[in-house]
Amino acid sequence: MSYEVLARKWRPGNFEELVGQEHVQRALVNGLDEDRLHHAYLFTGTRGVGKTTIARIFAKSLNCETGVTSKPCGECSACREITEGRFVDLIEVDAASRTGVDDTRELLENVQYAPSRGRYKVYLIDEVHMFSKHSFNALLKTLEEPPPHVKFLLATTDPQKLPVTILSRCLQFNLKRMPISLIVSQLQHILDADKTEYDMAALQLLAEGADGSMRDGLSLLDQALAFGGGNIREQDVRDMLGTVSRDRVLNILKALLARDANAVMQEVATLSEFTPDYESVLSELLSVLHHMMLAKTVPQALDEYVSDRDALLELCEQVSTEDLQLFYQIGLIGRRDLPLAPAARSGFEMVLLRMMAFRPVQGGEATTTGGSKKRPAAVSEPVKQTPTVAEPVKKYEADKQASPAGSDVVTQDWHKILEGLAVNGMVRQLAANCLLLEQDGNTIRLGLDEGHKQLRNTKAEKRLQHALSEYFDANIRLEIESYNNPDFETPAQAVARERNERQQKAEQSIDEDGFVQAMKENFNAEVIPGSVRPSTKDEKR
């Protein structure tokens, strides 16, 4: 007798054997028991989570010779033929290979005829999102007014591609990804039933490699049995999957947390002896960081079957959530850029060194491994070159302009400061219509253009004060008073003036254009007022 692969041998034959989709099982069972049957069902979810399996069980329930039931007997000719894939009234279609409208019309032309043997004629259309627009239109006509003896069971991994007209005529069931614990439990059940020896760590690796798909988990188990000669051992599974031992990844992470660059490089050198796939190693490191973050913030969300769970729980006590987030972000970007590196190992090493190069903001400052301090922006953006508050007057005196009234007003520097302030909306409007009158120590005095005094309010002033404090990295005290001096322009006035100058220049350029002048002279053409706009290049300038 030929060997039957595990994914087929252990495919559920009824709803009681179904694993991991209780919400779908409950709805279908209740519908069958209470005779509340819809004419079209849509099953969505990633590959290998049971879409077509549930559809076939449902087809058995509809056509079992014992009657419409949520517990098909599995013994009658209809149940056996559906299991074996030869039931004449179960029409299974792979939409990926029958995308044309002619194929769909040919498929549906017999819908009107009664079933040959069963109670219902069941159309099981897999990957239905692959239908063309015309095919969907042909299917829609049947879904709108289906014969009472027809049921449609649609399955797809990409429901977003289905027209809303199709979705609105189906009962939709979203199948969940399988958690690691559930896949491990099913693999255990299968191996125990076959009396096969196994390592729990090996099953955890297989379940993680399945990535939420029970079918992929069973396929990997088949492969591991062949690779290990009928036994399931951790090292055999690692060799088969090409994964690096999590212990080595944890050793690298321990060296990272200790900020020991020499130890990190030694671990990489040891790792390189096994000629690993560095992209896979980086992915495993990201997986470890993700599991550590779960363990640190929401321990109940960490699956009990995660590899080296105890080691992760112990290690996460030695690191802050900020470090974990920073490591994960750097690793994620590093994995994206790894193919651009001259060599995979050097790219991997640079990612690790980058993780050690920065520390999250602590007490208003970001530190590097050498102990030197940088502005917080060094973690994620270029450092802003800003004047310090220690000696503000010396900085501003170089740019002061004397007003006729004898008061000193700073204009140029306020324009520069405004560009660097993290404010927008009404707060930016408030700042843009001010002049910097004076800075004395940590006190900044602004003069607000009297024509815009309505912009003043307590909330906006507090937000502006906070932005200035962040900009100068000091506790700034802000004073705002009304001010009106035509000899000085606020940033807002400067922007308006530059915009007007560009507009005038654009209009003058149009007036002087030879083609425009010819059109005016020969055809009495006119330039519509307000229709001339400066070019994008001029605007950016």
Residue ranges of domains in the chain: 6-174, 180-241, 246-378, 393-488, 494-540
Pairing of strands 443-449, 434-440: antiparallel
On the question of pLDDT at 49 being above 50, the answer is yes
On the question of pLDDT at 539 being above 50, the answer is no
**What digits encode the pLDDT tens for the residues 308-323?**
778 888 888 888 888 8
Q: How far apart are the first and last CA of the chain?
A: 79
- pLDDT reported for residue 313: 82
**What digits encode the pLDDT tens for the residues 523-537?**
777 888 767 777 655
Q: How far is CA 240 from the centre of its chain?
A: 29
**Burial readout 506-531 (b: 16 or more C-beta within 10 A, e: otherwise):** ebeeeeeeeeeeeeeeeeeeeeeeee
Rounded to whole angstroms, how far apart are CA atoms 157 and 107? Answer: 22
On the question of pLDDT at 288 being above 70, the answer is yes
SS3 200: helix
Give the containing element (helix H, strand E) for 176: none
Which residues share a beta bridge with 367?
373
**Architecture of the domain defined by 6-174:** 3-Layer(aba) Sandwich (3.40)
**What digits encode the pLDDT tens for the residues 198-242?**
988 889 889 888 888 999 999 999 999 998 888 899 888 888 887
Share of the chain above pLDDT 70, in %: 88
CATH of domain 393-488: 3.30.300.150
Q: Is the pTM of this model over 0.75?
A: no
Give the containing element (helix H, strand E) for 334: helix 321-337
Kindly report the CATH class assigned to 180-241: mainly alpha
DSSP 437-482: EEEETTEEEEEEEGGGGGG--HHHHHHHHHHHHHHHTS--EEEEEE
One of 1.10.10.10, 1.10.287.610, 1.20.272.10, 3.40.50.150 is the CATH number of 246-378, namely 1.20.272.10
Rounded to whole angstroms, how far apart are CA atoms 396 and 95? Answer: 72
**What digits encode the pLDDT tens for the residues 58-96?**
999 999 999 999 999 989 999 999 998 899 999 998 888
- pLDDT reported for residue 66: 92
